Amino acid sequence: MKIGFVQNNPLFGDIENNLAQVLGVLAEESADLFVLPELFTTGYQFINREEALELAETVPDGLTTQSLISLAKNINAVIVGGIVEREGDAIYNSALMVGPYGFIGKYQKAHLFDTEKQIFQPGTTPLAVFDIGCARVGMMICFDWRFPETARTLALKGADIIAHPANLVLKHCPDAMITRCLENGIFIATADRVGQEERIPGQRLKFMGQSQVVAPSGEVLYRASLDQEEVKVVELDIASARDKRLNPNNHLFADRREDLYRLN
């Protein structure tokens, strides 16, 4: 199957233009699954919760979800991307998944990074795996990478691929994802952004690009630049995520010693 990502540089707060740019880029591309960055329509650094609330959208009836559904139909692909989601009075840092037949599912970021805790509520959606036909796909968002239970849970639930929308600011993430792939025998596609934001004086955030696709073997199939917008599609063999044998004597999941992992 083919998997692709978009590495963008959104203009803060300009949902319509940021969305139009990604829609335009993907209209020319072909893959089974595309991953877009975290908060790809809004930008990242909200000054306060009210500002995020103004840019929040409902799922699945909001503009971004509906626009991505139309695109998914046109290009016959599944698409995962991150937005600010409003659900009742709560706002979440969410990822949504849509396909040619419509809305598939959503995930609300569980592990909020730093000042995100003043903006968003921690997610309540389960770590779910969606069967898109050519692969079983789970979602996690950016800083979730730092909690290995996230990827492990998705892998144990059957994910072949983790779609990982991100706005990376911590330099170890791209290499850490190699470990997550090795631990779980899965593919991880991280879609990051580039550029910087300093909407709060003195709190400059530089986003580090390096969107990538990593294989169960730990091989980095492709890693993007640190500072350029980019779209990339790579081919992968999903069978390599379904065979968890490392050699005739080791199996990544069967060899787990759950009896030793219990805390009491």
* Binding interface with ligand ACM (CB under 6 A): 38, 113, 142-143, 167, 169
User: Closest Cα partner for 179 from 143, 217, 234, 208?
Assistant: 217
**Which is the catalytic residue, given 106, 116, 142, 197?**
142
In whole angstroms, how close is the CB of 173 to ligand ACM at the nearest point?
A: 8
In whole angstroms, how close is the CB of 152 to ligand ACM at the nearest point?
A: 18
Q: Is 109 a catalytic residue?
A: yes
Quote the tokens at residue 130: 């969606």
Nearer Cβ to ligand ACM (62/165): 165
Quote the tokens at residue 32: 């089974």
Nearer Cβ to ligand ACM (94/167): 167
**Which is the catalytic residue, given 57, 85, 109, 116?**
109
Number of Cβ within 10 Å of residue 142's Cβ equals 28
Phi and psi at residue 49, to the nearest 5°: -65, -35
Nearer Cβ to ligand ACM (146/245): 146
In whole angstroms, how close is the CB of 223 to ligand ACM at the nearest point?
A: 18
Q: Is 38 a catalytic residue?
A: yes
Q: Is 173 a catalytic residue?
A: no
In whole angstroms, how close is the CB of 101 to ligand ACM at the nearest point?
A: 30
Q: Which residue has the tokens 């500002």?
A: 51
Pairing mode of beta strands 90-99, 78-87: antiparallel
Beta strands in 120-186 (DSSP E): 129-131, 136-139, 161-165
Active site residues: 38, 109, 142
